[in-house]
Amino acid sequence: MDFDAIFKAYDVRGLVPEQLDEDAARRIGAAFARFAASPRIAVGRDCRESSPGLAAALIEGMTSQGTDVDDLGMITTDMVYFAAGSLDEPGAMVTASHNPKGYNGIKLCLAGAAPVGEETGLMEIRDAAAAGPPPSGAPGEAASVDILGGYVDHVLSIVDPASFADLHVGVDGGNGVAGVAVPAVFERLPVRLRALYLEPDGTFPNHHPDPLRPENLRDLERLMRDESLDLGVAFDGDADRAFFIDDRLRPLPGSTVTAMIAAWYLAREPGASIVHNLICSRAVPETVQAHGGTPVRTRVGHSFIKGVMKDTGAVFGGEHSGHYYFRDNYRADSGILAMLVLLQLLSEDGRPLSEVRREYEPYAQSGEINFQVIDPQEAAAAVAAAFDGHQDTLDGLTISWGDRWFNLRPSNTEPVLRLNVEAPDREAVDALVARVHGVLEVGGGVRT
């Protein structure tokens, strides 16, 4: 088993069983138990067909090192974070999130939902897993634990359900594990739910569990159009991300949601810090400043966001990719909590979402554009040499001017450069994309 291939920047991910099998999961469980050095670890899993076997092997590896396990069963990833925070023990989630059904993976955190990534121990766990577990003494024990009720109480304590208006909401669970928690949450809300595909099914029979791809939103858009709903919510496979559609059937970029939630929080906690990654729209830091807060710019990725939130005491953090992090949720991301905050925001504002969003979208954006290149570093260097403007390398290459900017980042897993562009209007965005593409074709080794 090639552990270098399946250990990524933020988690473990690979094809089952070619790259990730039960033996590998067993080794990872043992390695994580030794790394975490905790008497107990909480373990959850998604609904993929390979998840029960991988979770059982992961737990076996943990108990082989004398560690007890709280087996949480089939749950959402943010429920594992809740367990790690409320029970003050490390957590592990068997999931491949939005990847196709043939994939699976493992997300890890320490007690208090502290992140485990490439700079916070994940590579150490990789090396220990590759070496194999040492002999152990008396094995630990695994016991089933039901945390759904406590989780629902927790997320509802962060908002005020009594303030919610009689909104009509469509939710597409994508046959992922959102269906484990969404019905229990809506039972406690004065909101009308119209649900699609909330039955967990690891074959994903209706569409791929990746709402970032427009084709996977079509059924939800059709439902919203037919029933004139106020808000649409689409979850990814493990429900740590949520994507939103307004009453005019237009998806909201993650930057728009980040800016809206930031303003909502700053009305409650004036002067608070808000974290955003560097590919978020400039509208995010401008909104934070306009509402008296302190914007904090950081690298892309949950381990970086959570670390910066801890260091700065930030109340909220957002990523353009649809991850939203909450101080009161152990600084962990939660698609369901983002949905609840947005519902309260809309209830308090009284206007349709299609109107509310306007003040948070002053710029045009390209969305993420991927370029297959032979050598990502050489390609990025060619772009850096071709453009003037202010340059920084916090995460990839960012070049900015007074009214426009772009970021070019290498993928963590493949020879791809990811481009994000923002400018005052669509014409300027398209022109800047074309210029970057032209440089890559000449000096960057773009694959056709």
pLDDT tens digits for 131-176? 987 777 799 999 999 999 999 999 999 999 999 999 999 999 999 9
C-beta atoms surrounding 396 within 10 Å: 21
Judgement on whether residues 61 and 130 belong to the same structural domain of the protein: yes
pLDDT score recorded for residue 413: 58
Q: Is the pLDDT of residue 276 over 80?
A: yes
Q: CA-based angle 351:354:358, to the nearest 5?
A: 95
Residues with active-site annotation: 97
416 in a structural domain: yes
β-pairing, 332-333 vs 324-326, is antiparallel
89 in a structural domain: yes
Determine the average pLDDT of the residues in 362-387.
Answer: 93
CB 303 within 8 A of CB 309: no
pLDDT, tens only, 300-312: 888 889 999 999 9
258 in a structural domain: no
Determine the average pLDDT of the residues in 45-66.
Answer: 98
Judgement on whether residues 165 and 118 belong to the same structural domain of the protein: no
Q: Is the pLDDT of residue 447 over 60?
A: no
pLDDT band at 445 (very low <50, low <70, confident <90, very high): low
Judgement on whether residues 117 and 32 belong to the same structural domain of the protein: yes
User: How far apart are alpha carbons 183 and 322 in whole angstroms?
Assistant: 21
209 in a structural domain: yes
Judgement on whether residues 196 and 286 belong to the same structural domain of the protein: no
Q: Is the pLDDT of residue 258 over 80?
A: yes
pLDDT band at 414 (very low <50, low <70, confident <90, very high): low
67 in a structural domain: yes
pLDDT score recorded for residue 412: 67
Which of 38-42, 244-248, 338-342, 443-447 shows the lowest per-residue confidence on average (mean pLDDT)? 443-447
pLDDT band at 416 (very low <50, low <70, confident <90, very high): confident
Q: Is the pLDDT of residue 448 over 50?
A: no
Strand partners for 407: 398, 420
Check which CATH number belongs to the domain holding 286 and give it: 3.40.120.10
Contacts of 316 (CB under 8 A, 6+ apart): 261, 262, 265, 272, 274, 275, 324, 325, 326, 327
302 in a structural domain: yes
Q: Is the pLDDT of residue 280 over 90?
A: yes
Q: CA-based angle 256:341:166, to the nearest 5?
A: 110
107 in a structural domain: yes
Q: Determine the length of the chain.
A: 448
Of residues 389 and 1, the one with the higher pLDDT is 389
- Which domain, by its residues, includes 406? 364-443
Number of structural domains (the chain) is 4
Judgement on whether residues 113 and 241 belong to the same structural domain of the protein: no
Judgement on whether residues 44 and 26 belong to the same structural domain of the protein: yes
Nearest to 320 by CA among 262, 362, 279, 274: 279
Which of 1-10, 275-284, 373-382, 410-419 shows the lowest per-residue confidence on average (mean pLDDT)? 410-419
Determine the average pLDDT of the residues in 76-92.
Answer: 98
Judgement on whether residues 56 and 134 belong to the same structural domain of the protein: yes
Judgement on whether residues 53 and 141 belong to the same structural domain of the protein: yes
pLDDT score recorded for residue 137: 78
- Mean pLDDT across the chain, nearest whole number? 95
311 in a structural domain: yes
Judgement on whether residues 375 and 355 belong to the same structural domain of the protein: no
